[in-house]
A and B are shown apart, each in its own frame.
Chain A
Amino acid sequence: MMDRVMDNRKPDHFEWRFLAVIVAILSLGVLSIYSATYSQPTPGLPLYAKQMIWIVAGAAAFLVMLTIDYHTIARLAYPLYAIVLILLAVVLVTGKTSRGAQRWIPIGPFAFQPSEFAKLVLILVLASYYAKSPREGWLQRVVLPSLIMMPGLFLIIKQPDLGSGLSFLAVYGAMLLVVGIRSKAVGILFLFSLMLFPFAWEMVWGGLHDYQRERIMTFVNPDYDTGGKGYHALQSRIAIGAGELTGKGLYGGTQSQLKFLPEGHTDFVFSVYAEEWGFLGVVVLLGLFIALIVLSVDIALKAKDVLGALLAAGVTAMIAFCAVVNIGMTAGIVPIVGIPLPLMSYGGSATVMTLAALGLLLNVKRRRLTLFY
């Protein structure tokens, strides 16, 4: 068997940079949630304080995922997937309905959203599937993994949760590109079409009549824009655009303070941020996400084995996909599908899951000097 030794050298600058980027994005998130909910005090603990509690819980998950060897975690992939599937089924049967969709399992005062954790588990499952033995031929490379993914995808779409469903597909697509398809050309084409899907969607979508869109949208995603008039999308564009170069300052965002923005603390937290901090703030935030992606891909590149590389690639692709689609939808170039901005949007399950995924990423990095034999 393999004898694994951990990289016990002092954490290098690389890791501190990685952590600093995460903390910076989380802080901007808390600040924006604070501002978005400032004029409407909710009874009980304010949302920004709750988000900080989620971050502490996420930090614990981060440490757990960092300490246990990722080979050990990957061995649990299939049992974990089974648990997630059961939870997703439970949600469908008994889940808490909010805004027309069933996504939550209430646990005491909190609500737990299994579809968030399903994404991370899918990364584990697909990575350990490809890393285990030689997978030859398109059947083993493409079809089998897609069959593994299907039940989870089905249960998520059924809720309906279009956003999580798309993230699920994106993780699968990214894995396929990195390892699945032999021909480089096909792979690139596939990823491009996946990433361009939202844009292409917009073109197809644009050709539809209003009533057709309305029907489709209320079918797949009943919680946004039931009027189908693009009101929320427009308000979000106005918020971002009105920020101009320097922004309107903290609490200065009339779009969010006057409640023109729906869900200013969750899906549209980027609009709140962009209105208040302007293009300068946006550059800082995009810079932070770019740094996070560069550092993450670097970890994948330096991984010692295929499993580590695939885990890192999956986490990176998932976070990048969510960030791009979320900012894209607030900026009006992607339809509104309900994907939160990683590390920024308010939400317990998403915050804990994202931090756990980042812990896994750093795990891969810290064990890159693993010795075999």
Chain B
Amino acid sequence: MSEFDLHSELREVQRRLSILRIILLLFLLLLGGRLWHLQIYEGGYYRNLSDNNRTRTVLIEPARGLIYDRHGELLANNVPSFTLYVTLEDVKDREQLIQGLITLIGLDEDMVRKKLSARGSKLLPRKVKDGLTLREAALIESHRLDFPGVMIQAELQRNYPAGLAAGHMTGYVGEVSPDQLERENSSDLHQGSIVGQYGLERTYDRSLRGRPGQKVIEVDATGHVKQTVLVEKAQSGDDLYMTIDIRLQKLAESLLGEEAGAIVALDPTTGEVLAMASRPGFDPNILSRELTGKQWEDIVQDERHPLTNRATQGQYPPGSTFKIVMAAAALETDTVQPATHIRCVGGYPFGKRVFRDWKTGGHGMIDLKHAIIHSCDVYFYTVGNRMGIDTIAEYAGQFGLGKETGIELPSERAGIMPSTMWKERVRHEQWFPGETISAAIGQGYVTVTPLQMARLVGIVANNGVSYKPHLVRTIMHRETGHMEDSVPDLQGRLTIDRSTLALIQEGLAGVVTEGTATKAKSPLVTIAGKTGTAQTAALRTGPQEDIPKKFRDHAWFVSYAPVESPRIAVAVLVEHMGHGGSAAAPLAKQLIEEFVKLRPLDPVVANPEHPISENLSRRGAS
């Protein structure tokens, strides 16, 4: 292409560009004319339209899923309640409104002021108070004309019919916090949404929550609803059927009475939690309402820590119940044989000190089985010292100590199973052999949760097969109607010989028939178990009665029944109540007896029946 051509082409392009410029500018001017027409010529008309454009979008909160026990007994539902909303845009005189609300229904002045001045749109209704009584709601409704912008909305309030019972498991709900909103980043949640804050309500929040719908309503200039433009239904949350039996649960809680402690009952063949009591407890109905700062402070600062679920979060030395682990380790490592006898003279000299047996004078010559039955300390000091802490820790780990069980509850604690490496890592110190002696009888650094101990004794009862403890049996998906049953989660099988377990089982049965827990002997059912007394203070002098209660020992009893074909494993811990044999064992016995009465002992089958499904089909038919 010649130079000339290039230049003529460029000149041609330039000429046409001028045309392009004129066209583009014409279009922009045309737009300007159109906008003048809209905004100046017809502006008043559109301004009027926008002022009267008073459709409001109201969220329809979904009904939260229900929670039942294993037999369909209701544990959490929703009841209608009244909520007071204020739309600031429509409020004429804020001061008058505040005074009116105070005199009419006695609202807290600071609270109302804080709510009204909080950040947020003036045009959207904001929640000021929930849980109004019918009378309060009617009072406000009858003064409606005096308070423009005020709206009473019937809403669903979470309700726990069983009250205190099972509160630590069901948990409670509350308004979503800004942190949670940020973390979840879900369009289902908004300021003021109610979400689970504790227990299953929290763990299963996404299932229970459902999905909100919305309603577009048209209101006139005075705020009265003229018509509903659009309704998008809310999707209710899924229902949960728990593994617990509320009758057993209530009994377990009443057995503890006013004492602090925990009782856990499991089905060792599936891992289903049958009851899990923790005392002192709380009423989830109260915690699910909006609390004042003072109320909340009272609960959180309560010295007895009612919000702690002692079954999963309480960490206690296992005391002599730990001897189950010791016995398994000693036999498996061939440290002793079943027939090996050790002489117990009431003390075990080690280094400069003497570790004492609980029985002054000792048990004499004793073998492993009888050491379990009579809880001989010296026997286990001896085998513990021979094995060393790391061997003990390895077997304790097999039984699930030192790690969470994985139950569906938030903030489960793991307890501690010490080892030389553990001490190196956590305390930056070397392990002293004397500490092994303490650990051998479940003292020193060793701590466990009652749930861990219930599972541990359940593993023994179930011949070494371990299932993950769980609380939810079935989820009913509301959208599809599908019932999703949880399958027992097999966690493993101990690498421990059947004969070893059989010997331990014999020992545990002997504990109840002739040993330290004869108070657990029942005419209804055979029970096996192990007592424990967990020291809380290093020095123990004189009878327990003389020691202030907060320094007294914790009483343990871990057990299972029936001995021949175990169906229930129970761990009882009562804080500061002294000997396990006297304080804890009778509670386990009563719970087991009640279990037997409620569920007559049918022959054990490989796959336990599912009464829940029968229950449901029956309800569906009626």
Tell me the A residues contacting B by CB distance below 8 Å: 38-40, 43-44, 133-134, 174, 177-179, 184, 187-188, 191-192, 195, 235, 237-245, 254-255, 257-260, 274-275, 278-279, 282-283, 286, 289-290, 293-294, 297, 300-301, 303, 305-306, 309-310, 313, 316-317, 320, 323-324, 327-328, 331-333
Contact = CB atoms under 8 A, between A and B. Distances in A.
Contacts of A316: 20, 24
Q: Nearest 5 CB-CB pairs, A to B?
A: A241-B46, A242-B50, A39-B121, A244-B43, A279-B39
B123 interface: yes
B621 interface: no
A323 to B, nearest CB: 8
A44 B184 CA distance: 10
22 contacts: A40-B121, A44-B182, A174-B20, A179-B13, A184-B19, A188-B19, A235-B53, A238-B46, A238-B50, A238-B53, A240-B35, A241-B45, A244-B39, A245-B40, A245-B43, A258-B53, A260-B55, A286-B32, A300-B17, A301-B17, A313-B13, A323-B28
B1 interface: yes
Contacts of A332: 38
Contacts of A177: 16, 19-20
A237 B38 contact: yes
Interface in B151-204: 181-182, 184-185
B296 interface: no
B14 interface: yes
B188 to A, nearest CB: 12
Contacts of B28: 286, 289-290, 293, 320, 323-324
B27 A195 contact: yes
Contacts of B50: 238-239, 241-242, 254-255, 275
B78 interface: no
Interface string B1-22: 1000110011011101111110
Interface string B284-306: 00000000000000000000000
Interface string B119-137: 0110110000000000000
Nearest to A191: B23
A278 to B, nearest CB: 6
A43 B35 contact: no
Contact of B17 (A40, A235, A305, A309): A309
B80 to A, nearest CB: 28
B502 interface: no
A178 B13 contact: yes
B16 A187 contact: yes
A317 B21 CA distance: 9
A290 B25 contact: yes
Contacts of A320: 24, 27-28
Interface of B: 1, 5-6, 9-10, 12-14, 16-21, 23-25, 27-28, 31-32, 34-36, 38-40, 42-47, 49-51, 53, 55-57, 120-121, 123-124, 181-182, 184-185
Contacts of A39: 120-121, 123-124
Contacts of A243: 39, 43
Contact of B6 (A174, A238, A306): A306
Contacts of B32: 282-283, 286
Given A258-B123, A306-B6, A293 B24 contact: yes
A134 B1 contact: yes
Contact of A192 (B10, B23, B25): B23
A133 B43 contact: no
Q: Is the interface of B mostly helix, strand, loop or mixed?
A: helix
A253 B25 CA distance: 29
A242 B124 contact: no
A241 B16 contact: no
Given A240-B38, A242-B49, A283-B32, 16 more contacts: A39-B124, A177-B20, A237-B46, A240-B35, A240-B39, A241-B43, A241-B49, A241-B50, A258-B56, A305-B6, A305-B10, A306-B13, A316-B24, A324-B27, A331-B31, A332-B38
Nearest to A308: B10
Nearest to A134: B1
B23 A313 contact: no
A361 B308 CA distance: 67
A275 B50 CA distance: 10
B40 A133 contact: no
Contacts of A317: 20, 24
Given A179-B13, A293-B21, A328 B47 contact: no
Given A178-B16, A331-B35, A241 B47 contact: yes
A279 B36 contact: yes
A297 B10 contact: no
Contacts of B47: 241-242, 244
B611 to A, nearest CB: 43
Contacts of A255: 50, 53
A306 B10 contact: yes
B252 to A, nearest CB: 41
Contacts of B49: 238, 241-242
A300 B12 CA distance: 12
B38 A254 contact: no
B260 to A, nearest CB: 40
B40 A279 contact: yes
Contacts of B53: 235, 238, 254-255, 258, 260
Contacts of B18: 301
A297 B57 contact: no
Contacts of A293: 21, 24-25, 28
Contacts of A187: 16, 19
A286 B27 CA distance: 11
B17 A43 contact: no
Contacts of B5: 134
Contacts of A303: 10
Contacts of A328: 31, 34
A134 to B, nearest CB: 5
B123 A313 contact: no
Contacts of A286: 28, 31-32, 35
Contacts of A301: 14, 17-18
A237 B42 CA distance: 10
A293 B34 CA distance: 20
A341 to B, nearest CB: 12
Contacts of B10: 303, 305-306, 309
Given A43-B181, A320-B27, A309 B14 contact: yes
Contacts of A310: 13
A243 B41 CA distance: 12
Contacts of B27: 195, 320, 324
Contacts of B31: 286, 324, 327-328, 331
Nearest to B180: A43
Contacts of B124: 39
Contacts of B56: 258
Contacts of A327: 31, 35
Nearest to B183: A43
A237 B37 CA distance: 11
Contacts of B182: 43-44
A245 B24 CA distance: 25
Contacts of B13: 178-179, 306, 309-310, 313
Contacts of A313: 13, 17, 20
Contacts of A305: 6, 10
Contacts of B185: 43-44
B46 A240 contact: yes
Nearest to B38: A241
B277 to A, nearest CB: 38
A244 B40 contact: yes
Contact of B20 (A238, A240, A297, A306): A297
B72 to A, nearest CB: 38
B216 to A, nearest CB: 10
A39 B14 CA distance: 49
Contacts of A188: 19
Question: Which of A134, A242, A297 counts the most B-chain CB atoms under 10 A from its CB?
Answer: A242
A245 B446 CA distance: 78
